[in-house]
Amino acid sequence: MYNLKLIGRIFYGTGIAGIGVLHFFYPGFRPVILPLPPEQTAQLSFLVYLAGGFLLITGLIISIGKYVRTIALLLAFVLFLFFAVGHLPNRLTHMINVLGAWTDALKLRRFVVVH
């Protein structure tokens, strides 16, 4: 059972780090993090790089296995803020009832729940 936890933690941390790396290669926030088109957030490069660096570092720390609980709680808090401030108002404002439109928001919520 310990091996499954270890493998799951490594894959989860690698996935979070991968989302962080994407922020350095493409302009703007990735849609899974912020629901705005990347072109609208391209001028916020400092914040994009800061968020990408945060995701990269926390993902690597979780994969390595140091301070996992503390880092995972911090990551969950930040991802919840992105969900509550970015995705939720956007989805409720546009009142999109199609479940496919909620895909990125639900992915972000899943990242928060799994730790």
- Burial zone of 29 (CB within 10 Å; 0-12 exposed, 13-18 middle, 19+ buried): buried
Indicate the pLDDT class of residue 85, thresholds 50, 70 and 90.
confident
pLDDT value for 28? 82
Pairwise CA distance, residues 52 & 99, whole Å: 27
Q: Is the pLDDT of residue 27 over 90?
A: no
* Domain that residue 9 falls in: 2-113
Angle at 14 (CA atoms; ends 16, 20), nearest 5 degrees: 40
Q: What integer pLDDT is reported at residue 115 of this predicted model?
A: 45
pTM: 0.77
- Number of domains, the chain: 1
Helix intervals (H) in the chain: 2-25, 45-64, 68-82, 88-94, 103-113
pLDDT by residue (tens digit) across 10-26? 999 999 999 999 989 98
- Output the six-digit token pair for 2: 């310990």
Tens digits of residue pLDDT in 53-76: 999 999 999 999 889 999 999 999
Write out pLDDT tens, residues 103-115: 666 665 555 544 4
- Residue appearing with tokens 């140091």: 66
